[in-house]
Amino acid sequence: MPRHSLREKLLDAGFKTIWSSGYSAAGVRDIVAAADARPGSFTNHFASKEAFTGEVLDRYFAYVSGLAEQALARDGTPVGRLRRYLEIITSKLEAHDWARGCMIGNLSLETAAHSEALRLQLVAIFERWRKPFAECIAEGQAAGDITDAFDAEDLADFLLSSWQGAMLRMKVERSPEPLERFKNIVFKTVFAKRS
C-alpha cells in the first residue's frame, strides 16, 4: 500500500482545521501539528497559506459537488431533488451541532476582503456550483413545477445565496430553525407547483 504523502497529510489536516476553526484561526503551526509534521514542512510544499487554502477550498468544493450530484441525480421530480440536496446538507450540519456551516460560505465572509486570489476562486466556485442547480430548476420550469417568472440561473443563484445566509444564522443561533424556516418558505413560494 502506498504511503500517504506529507503534502496530502498537510492538506487533510488543513481541510479539517480550516473547516472547524476558520482561515484566520487556523495557523500554519496548527496545521503542521495536526498533520504530525515538522515545522518547516509546510513551506516545502506550499508557497503561502493563501495558496494552501486555495487547494483546501478545491477539495471542499469537490466534496460539495459530489453531494450535489448525488442529490440532483435524475430520480424524482426537480423540486424533490432540490429538497433532497437541502436535506443532505442539513444532516451534515446537524452532525456538527449546527456550528460548522459551509467552508465556501465561511471563507467568502472571512477572506474576500483580504485575498484577491481566494475571492476570485470563490467567484469561480459559485459560478460552477450554480450550474447543476440551474439545470434542475430549468427542468422543473419546463414541466410546469417551478415558476418561470425568473431565469433558472437567477433562481439557482437565489437558492444558493439564501441557503448560505440561512447557514450563517444557523451558526449564530446554534439551531436548525433558520434552515427549516428557509426550506418551509422557499418550497411554499419559489419552488411551489405553479397553478
Q: Is 195 part of any domain? A: no
- Whether the per-residue pLDDT at 91 is higher than 90: the answer is yes
Handedness of CA 18, 165, 92, 66 (dihedral sign): negative
Structural domain of residue 173, as residue ranges? 53-188
Q: Are residues 41 and 59 in the same domain?
A: no
Share of the chain above pLDDT 90, in %: 91
Give the pLDDT confidence score for residue 4 in this predicted structure.
62
Contact 72, 136 (CB under 8 A): yes
Contacts of 74 (CB under 8 A, 6+ apart): 81
Output the domain CATH number for residue 29: 1.10.10.60
Return mean pLDDT, the chain. Answer: 94
User: pTM higher than 0.85 for the full model?
Assistant: yes
Which distant-in-sequence residues (6+ apart) come within 8 Å of 42 by Cβ? 10, 28, 31, 32, 52
pLDDT of 90 reads 98
33 and 96 co-located in one domain: no
- Here the cell at position 182 is 428557509
Q: Do 16 and 77 share a domain, yes or no?
A: no
The residues near 92 (Cβ < 8 Å, ≥ 6 apart) are 67
pLDDT tens, position by position, 106-162: 999 999 899 999 999 999 999 999 999 999 999 999 999 999 999 999 999 999 999
pLDDT in tens, 110-121: 998 999 999 999
Answer whether residue 87 is part of any domain.
yes
When divided into structural domains, the chain yields a total of 2
Q: Tell me which of 60 and 192 has the higher pLDDT.
A: 60
Residue 39 and residue 66 in one domain: no
Where do we find the cell 515545522? 39
Q: Which of 5, 30, 33 is nearest to 19 (CA)?
A: 30
User: Is there a single domain that holds both residue 167 and residue 77?
Assistant: yes
Confidence of residue 1 (pLDDT cuts 50, 70, 90): very low
Q: Examine residue 193 and state whether it is found in any structural domain, yes or no.
A: no
**pLDDT tops 90 at residue 186:** yes
**Is 121 in the same domain as 32?**
no
Let me know: does 127 contact 139? Beta carbons within 8 Å: no
Count of Cβ atoms closer than 10 Å to residue 73 Cβ: 11
Arithmetic mean of pLDDT, 46-72: 96
Q: Round to whole Å and give the CA distance between 133 and 72.
A: 8
Q: 76: left (phi > 0), else alpha (psi -120 to 50), else beta? A: left
Q: What φ, ψ does residue 22 adopt, rounded to 5°?
A: 95, 165
pLDDT at residue 194 tops 70: no
Q: What percent of the chain has pLDDT over 70?
A: 97
